[in-house]
Chain A
Amino acid sequence: KNQVEQSPQSLIILEGKNCTLQCNYTVSPFSNLRWYKQDTGRGPVSLTIMTFSENTKSNGRYTATLDADTKQSSLHITASQLSDSASYICVVSPNTGGFKTIFGAGTRLFVKA
């Protein structure tokens, strides 16, 4: 079972609309949670990073929220643009020794004109 699950798998929205992507995780205890954006043919780029004590973090039109009690995070995109078309990946780093950063499979977002 994946320790980081994202939904939906894919999403199509019209330009200018808002959308929210979900991330549920079972990793515990965890140190931080990140959202990455991956354009087609590119490597992922970090959008936000939150520690377990943070509830929200914004980066321009991107706002990430975190509920450490329910182990849920969301990424809200406001006033979407065509350039927002990409995969959005949720990444959780556990608060344990060794390297065990866990990546979700991503949500593929398509923004249509």
Chain B
Amino acid sequence: GAGVSQSPSNKVTEKGKDVELRCDPISGHTALYWYRQSLGQGLEFLIYFQGNSAPDKSGLPSDRFSAERTGGSVSTLTIQRTQQEDSAVYLCASSINRGGLAGQETQYFGPGTRLLVL
């Protein structure tokens, strides 16, 4: 009964480098979400995957951010040419979509990846 897992738990990188963050959702969950949480701020939606549908990328802050989900399970969030303002906690969540509107179901969150860009 594993929950959502993310790796790495912490990542320190230099400005300009690329980083990849991984999310393993709960088995059987068809929906997967990425969020960014900056210090003292609410969660900021980044991207949403649902089954085989085209992802909702409306929250990605710039074209340096991209994400993919392979085989409807594991997802990778990639940040290219990282900037200091990218420093934040990146949270992944998954849920079972029962055919209702996206985001209506209870989302189960992973522990997050803490990214620090120096």
Which chain A residues have a beta carbon within 8 Å of chain B's beta carbons? 2, 4, 31-32, 34, 41-46, 49, 89, 93, 95-106
Contact = CB atoms under 8 A, between A and B. Distances in A.
B106 interface: yes
B104 interface: yes
A45 B101 CA distance: 21
A31 B100 CA distance: 11
A99 B45 contact: yes
Nearest to B9: A41
A31 B102 CA distance: 11
Nearest to A102: B42
Interface stretch (B12-20, B60-68, B79-87, B109-117): B109-117
Given A43-B4, A98-B56, A89 B43 contact: yes
A42 B45 contact: no
A4 B109 contact: no
B101 A96 contact: yes
Given A99-B56, A106-B42, A44 B109 contact: yes
Contacts of A98: 56, 58, 101-102
Given A31-B104, A101-B103, A45 B109 contact: yes
A99 B53 CA distance: 13
Interface in B72-107: 91-93, 101-104, 106-107
B40 interface: yes
Contacts of A2: 42
